[in-house]
Amino acid sequence: MGTIECVQGDIARQADIDTVVNAANAELRIGGGVAGALHRAAGPGLAEECRPLAPIRPGQAVITGAHGLPNRHVIHCLGPVYGIDEPADELLAACYRNALELAEREGIRSIAFPAISAGAFGYPPAEAARVALATVLKTLPGCPGIEKVRFVLFDADSTALHQRTLASLE
């Protein structure tokens, strides 16, 4: 099975990773947070490639090129809005599962995830980390082509939370 690591950083600056995952909005527009950072770094070609793929549903994952980002692809996932899209845990798990299965089908060997839904979409961070890491641990054995999964967290607290959660699940 591939390795899983949790590091602090900016998802738009993961030059040694094949594919980065976007915590997208349904319209695949620029937005804020992760989506804003990725679209700003990618340039307008990314939004243009996204337009015919939108809208997407909670839990869905779609793939595009990475344009000006230092990666090969972007996989765009729509996380659940906490308290609105139900069941939240199943929809959040579906994001990670669908992204990994799509990456496996595309021959992608390394993938970086942000903490989907844990920002503007209001998912409690500890619960989001548990769902995310448990889903990756469960799905990765079925994706033999994926050698590395990296969680990229914006701040030190979130990084420590993910590292603790991973250690408790392994």
CA distance 98 to 72: 18
Question: 18, 99, 12, 14: which is closest to 56 by C-alpha?
Answer: 99
Phi-psi region of 59 (alpha: psi -120 to 50; beta: other; left: phi over 0): left
Binding of residue 117 to ligand AR6 (CB under 6 A)? yes
Options 121, 135, 143, 151; binder of ligand AR6; rule CB under 6 A:
121
Does residue 21 belong to the site contacting ligand AR6 (CB under 6 A)? no
Contact between 154 and ligand AR6 per CB under 6 A: yes
Q: What is the DSSP letter of 79?
A: P
Count, in order, helices (H) and strands (E) of the chain.
Answer: 5, 6
Asked if residue 35 binds ligand AR6 (CB under 6 A), the reply is yes
Tell the smallest beta-carbon distance from residue 49 to ligand AR6 (Å).
16
Alpha helices in 33-154 (DSSP H): 33-42, 44-50, 88-105, 125-139
Cα 27 to Cα 124: distance, rounded to the nearest angstrom: 24
Is 34 an interacting residue with respect to ligand AR6 (CB under 6 A)?
yes
> Among residues 96 and 154, whose Cβ is nearest to ligand AR6?
154
165 binds ligand AR6 (CB under 6 A): no
11 vs 56, beta carbon nearer ligand AR6: 11
What are the residues binding ligand AR6 (CB under 6 A)? 10-12, 23, 25, 31-35, 37, 79, 114-121, 152, 154, 158
